Amino acid sequence: MRILGIETSCDETAVAIVSYEGGRFTVEDHLVASQVKTHAKYGGVIPEVAARMHVPVLPDLLSKVTGWKGGAIDAVAVTAGPGLATSLRVGIETAKALAVTWSVPLVPVDHMEGHVVSAMIGQHLSGDCWPALCLIVSGGHTEWVRVHAVCEYAIIGETRDDAVGEAYDKVAALLGLPYPGGPSVDKTAKRGSSSRFTLPRPMIDHDTLDVSFSGLKTAVRYLVDDTPEENRDETFVADVCAAFVDAVMDVLMAKTRRAIEQEAPTTVLLGGGVAASLVLRRRLTELVAGHQVTLWLPDMAYTTDNAAMIAAAGALRFEHGDVASDPFALDAVPSHVLGASWI
């Protein structure tokens, strides 16, 4: 089957055409227009600005993705949530119009399910791949997800406060590094020494797969506040970044190890914007080397928000029969509301 995917949940407008046959995805087209330069001026995403920017950009991207011309599209997938409601609606209303005009099913996709499926692109899906464990680390979510099989998920651990990407963004702001904080903290950390400062590893030994990152962020704030301004030079910033990244990775790896031991998965998947971190990819690769599991890392292009992952997740949902019963009634959903399908 061939499916058009649309993603407008936050500050990336994205369109993709993906085909799915015999357990394999083929990404035929994949375009992303990022608003990051606009939001960087404000140090974060301004929802009203994000929604307005999607409006002219989405039709522009659709006109550049030519694969849908000629009508060989079997369904339209769109991110229905979680995300910014006004941004989501731009994608949803466009997807509705296309699906109804083409008389094809409309497939609502959970954005986080998209991040899980992003690591399946390029792989051969079969019954042998499951059960799997997926670590999702994005700007809004940090979750360990059990994948019983395609379209059967359960959240088995999550952050109780800040998501990892959010913690990166906040630490970057405290250190005067540019938004988005993930790439800038990641890059700066490479020049620093992680041994100069010791930051807390919250909940690392707790008997749960849940985590918390707000205390770590606060510890960075105290470190900055307690250091005289003249001592907050480039080396200080780099050393704080290195200590922060080390603390985050130690927590993520400890919980992932615990989850692997608990769940005994066949496959481990990684997804979300923070999956672009080379340190995270290396640490996870090292971790799974000690276990009998196959690791699926997402292609770098599919780590941050994109529509290929939404189209791919939509293709699996389509085959599973999860299409909108009344396309006109579809509206933005604030959280994992496709929740019924998350068991």
Q: Which residues bind ligand KG4 (CB under 6 A)?
A: 10, 138-140, 165, 168-169, 180-183, 186, 272-274, 276-277, 304-305
Residue type, 11: D
Closer of 164 and 287 to ligand KG4 (Cβ): 164
Minimum CB distance to Zn ion, residue 11 (Å): 10
Q: Is the distance from CB of 58 to CB of 98 less than 8 angstroms?
A: no
Element (H, E) at 154: strand 152-158
136 is in an annotated binding site: yes
Please provide residue 70's backbone torsions phi and psi, each rounded to the nearest 5 degrees: 100, -10
User: Which residue, 43, 29, 38, is CA-closest to 11?
Assistant: 38
Residues 90-149 that bind Zn ion (CB under 5 A): 138
Minimum CB distance to ligand KG4, residue 119 (Å): 13
- Give how many residues touch Zn ion by CB under 5 A: 2
Minimum CB distance to Zn ion, residue 199 (Å): 26
User: Which residue, 139, 113, 243, 140, is CA-closest to 191?
Assistant: 243
105 binds, among Zn ion, ligand KG4, none (CB under 5 to 8 A by kind): none
Element (H, E) at 287: helix 278-289
290 is in an annotated binding site: no
User: Which residue, 171, 117, 167, 115, is CA-closest to 143?
Assistant: 115
User: Which residue, 90, 53, 48, is CA-closest to 331?
Assistant: 90
Minimum CB distance to ligand KG4, residue 58 (Å): 17
Looking at 305, 306, 324, 327, which residue binds Zn ion (CB under 5 A)? 305
CA atoms in the 13 A half-sphere facing the CB of 330: 30
181 binds, among Zn ion, ligand KG4, none (CB under 5 to 8 A by kind): ligand KG4
225 is in an annotated binding site: no
Report the interface residues with Zn ion, using CB under 5 A. 138, 305
Residues annotated in the binding site for Fe cation, as ranges?
111, 115, 305
